[in-house]
A and B are shown apart, each in its own frame.
Chain A
């Protein structure tokens, strides 16, 4: 079927007339970035509001985990590896970026397997990989650990800050918080399967649509949410069927399950959420960097007036923050939402709707 994007927009406009105000939350960083990149708010009717939730892995990483990362990366015998957008997250007056400028060996990788390669090339150094992200990145970290275990590699470890999405959505939306419907993360659903999101209609009583990432896919998912709201239907619809199956990627899920198990985790903005994190199982505990290294704790406070926490809960928009685009810019971020290209503040900053 060929989508005509203009027809979808017209249909959204017609349906929107049935409502006073609808708040749709997206919980995927790529959705947040693409919604701004494609200028979607500029063509939606005024009463349909898109609100970003805790979908950017960098943004929800707790200040304590950032502080652990900085403490480990600062050690002389360590090569610290992480994704690029973790580099600038501030930790007091430091960041991984500023440590690298000061001479620390911090390398940007795009796959955990790069860290394994670095550990093989540098047997005299301890290589640490900062594992962040949801069900999409956790299988890669699990594969790294399984491989390191098999090969008995002693000089690699992982600072594990992986999280899973369903407990966070439940924790955030159990009291609805003014959210009428949920745009579900396509990438996570590729791994977990669409069934993993059926708790949204069943337990939270909200309609949900799993969406792809092109403009027409996001808009088609919004249209399906509005149709459900109008018809009083509460279901989770898979609007990304080309990539998402009911049961997901079983190989990836088994891999996560064989290496990691659920644990409580602290999310920036949301606090401690039971069973929302992943820790290494006992067999692999030796690869846990937070146990391998002595960590100097330097928990820094959120900058005064920074609204990142409220923005991650969907309570505020980036424009509401007094620092936004004045003394908090991608060049000099005060909070994590301005750091990653998937963060709400960064996406709003880069593509300020005209």
Chain B
């Protein structure tokens, strides 16, 4: 096989088949994909959840992740926070001619590995090749389908006064990892992304019939602040206890140095929950037993109010949390 992707790999001919047979099938192999039919035929009944997301990441590899694992975990997490059990995903790739095959293979292996961890099967896919400089190495689109196991209550995604806000892990790691890698900021050791599939976190909570979740969301672009600002309603306020927000010390230091608010920075391995106060501690202890939930914390509460999101410090001052605006740019040091 050649070392680099060429236009003929996207032509549908022999080179394309070689790519499918030697790179994709061995990695993704499952009963739905292997027949290579025009569409995958899936079993199921009842309601399904479906989502899609496109991934354009620069650089393609960054500490703690790459475009491959992100493209699986991002879509899986969107299904999970809808209350669904992620089952199947598709992988569509737009590859720039000239991409090294070994780079593609690393990405494909990471996709396969993450899908396995997430318990999803890659059931269909597509590959196109575009001329050099028409894309940034590789763009990936994944679509995902999830099912609702019987008895699972779909969250209303509406917060209620009296709820506690729980975050399932340390915030802002992904955004700062990518920013550090993209702009060669030189923070050492490199900041690691938190990109991870979080279906298990949600399933762990749903194992308990009596736990109620009013809302859950993975706070990706726009960070925790954007999710809270989207959640708050005209009849509620959200108050965050600044000191209780879990954040890794390297991420916090980088944010302070660059003048960035960690609440505005993207996450790829964290879920925010709004749960009634009477089950908040139970949900917290369930989350903390999970691999990706060890650092879960109650970070705030929902009160009756007029639609503001604010943070209180341990010395009693209060600041407003606003919806982040524009591309986040590191400031002058």
- Whether A30 lies near B326 (C-beta < 8 A) is no
- The yes or no answer to A39 lying at the interface (CB within 8 A) is yes
- Whether A43 lies near B316 (C-beta < 8 A) is yes
- Whether B319 lies near A330 (C-beta < 8 A) is no
- What does the 1/0 interface line of A17-44 toward B look like (CB < 8 Å)? 0000000000001100100111110110
- Whether A38 lies near B332 (C-beta < 8 A) is no
Chain A residues near B331 (CB, 8 Å)? 58, 83-85, 340-342
Chain B residues near A330 (CB, 8 Å)? 325-326
Chain B residues near A180 (CB, 8 Å)? none
- What does the 1/0 interface line of A300-314 toward B look like (CB < 8 Å)? 000000000000000
Chain A residues near B259 (CB, 8 Å)? 30, 33, 85, 340-342
Interface centre among A33, A132, A351 (most CB of B within 10 A): A351
Say which residue of B185, B186, B318 sits within 8 Å of A42 (CB atoms): B318
- Whether A133 lies near B319 (C-beta < 8 A) is no
Interface segment, one of B70-78, B159-167, B307-315: B307-315
- Whether A38 lies near B313 (C-beta < 8 A) is yes
Interchain CA distance A124-B185 in the complex, whole Å: 25
**Interface residue tally for chain B (C-beta within 8 Å):** 28
Asked if A6 meets B329 with Cβ closer than 8 Å, knowing A108-B183, A352-B320, A353-B320, the reply is: no
CB distance from B236 to the nearest CB of A (A): 15
- The yes or no answer to A208 lying at the interface (CB within 8 A) is no
CB neighbors of A among B260-276 (8 A):
260-261
* SS of B interface (majority): loop
- What does the 1/0 interface line of A339-354 toward B look like (CB < 8 Å)? 0111000000111111
Say which residue of B184, B261, B318, B333 sits within 8 Å of A39 (CB atoms): B318
- The yes or no answer to B64 lying at the interface (CB within 8 A) is no
Chain B residues near A58 (CB, 8 Å)? 331-332
Interchain CA distance A111-B332 in the complex, whole Å: 9
Shortest Cβ distance from B315 into A: residue: A5
CB distance from A142 to the nearest CB of B (A): 15
- Whether A36 lies near B332 (C-beta < 8 A) is no
- Whether B318 lies near A350 (C-beta < 8 A) is no
- Whether B308 lies near A354 (C-beta < 8 A) is yes
Chain A residues near B332 (CB, 8 Å)? 29, 57-58, 83-86, 132-133, 137, 340, 342
- The yes or no answer to A110 lying at the interface (CB within 8 A) is yes
CB distance from A73 to the nearest CB of B (A): 15
Shortest Cβ distance from B325 into A: residue: A331
CB neighbors of B among A37-61 (8 A):
37-40, 42-43, 57-58
CB distance from A215 to the nearest CB of B (A): 7
- The yes or no answer to B317 lying at the interface (CB within 8 A) is yes
Chain A residues near B184 (CB, 8 Å)? 114
Shortest Cβ distance from A114 into B: residue: B184
CB neighbors of A among B7-58 (8 A):
none
- The yes or no answer to B330 lying at the interface (CB within 8 A) is yes
Chain B residues near A148 (CB, 8 Å)? none
Asked if A39 meets B313 with Cβ closer than 8 Å, knowing A350-B261, A352-B322, A354-B319, the reply is: yes
Listed A/B pairs (16) with beta-carbon separation below 8 Å:
A6-B315, A9-B315, A30-B259, A39-B313, A57-B332, A58-B331, A85-B259, A85-B329, A85-B331, A85-B332, A87-B329, A108-B183, A110-B183, A215-B313, A340-B331, A352-B320
A110-B333, A330-B326, A340-B259 known, 15 other contacts, Cβ within 8 Å: A9-B315, A29-B332, A38-B319, A39-B312, A39-B313, A85-B330, A88-B329, A110-B258, A132-B332, A133-B332, A332-B326, A341-B260, A351-B319, A353-B318, A354-B310
Question: Could you list which residues of chain B lie within 8 angstroms of chain A, going by C-beta atoms?
Answer: 183-186, 258-261, 308, 310-313, 315-320, 322, 325-327, 329-333
